[in-house]
Amino acid sequence: MNMNMNRLSNTKNQFQGDTKKVLCICSAGILRSPTLAHLLFKKFGYNTRAVGSTKEYALIPVDEVLLFWADEVIYIENSNKLEVELQFGSDCHENSFVLDIPDIYGYMDKELQNILLNKYKEIVLSENNEPIGVIVKEKIIDE
């Protein structure tokens, strides 16, 4: 049985629904990208995955199947984007964005949550002309 074909065919599994699929990438896929994935699921209902760009120590390393699966790729830092492009080519995903958030926060840190949502709103949603909420004291209020 070819495991790669099964994974590839699962990227279009009908039971995932029609929601946007967002791949969140930081260095190890342990702190920042899982926090963003959680927030995007809770706030927008997106189908999210969190992975790491550094294959030597990423808990779940990014791969070509996950890049194919994603409608949108969010890199936490530019170095994550460069690592992925070195592995898979500079044109590995056409709908990608970099948030530029340093690796100084713990998982679900309140400050990290605020920064992630504000940067996502500023960089991604405004570029895609999607509805934007306002974040007030770590709570999200829709406009």
Q: What is the band of 139 on the pLDDT scale with cuts at 50, 70, 90?
A: very low
Asked if residues 49 and 37 have their Cβ atoms less than 8 Å apart, the reply is: yes
Residue 8, pLDDT above cutoff 90: no
The DSSP code for 95 is: S
- Per-residue pLDDT tens digits for 60-110: 999 999 999 999 999 999 999 999 999 999 888 889 999 999 999 999 999
Q: What is the band of 126 on the pLDDT scale with cuts at 50, 70, 90?
A: confident
Residue whose entry in the numeric block shows the structure tokens 């984007």: 81
What pLDDT, on a 0 to 100 scale, did the predictor assign at position 4?
A: 52
What pLDDT, on a 0 to 100 scale, did the predictor assign at position 57?
A: 92
Computed over every residue of the chain, the mean pLDDT equals 87
Sign for the CA dihedral angle at 22, 35, 14, 133 comes to negative
Q: What is the band of 129 on the pLDDT scale with cuts at 50, 70, 90?
A: low
What pLDDT, on a 0 to 100 scale, did the predictor assign at position 95?
A: 93
**pTM of the entire structure?**
0.84
Nearest to 24 by CA among 85, 82, 67: 67
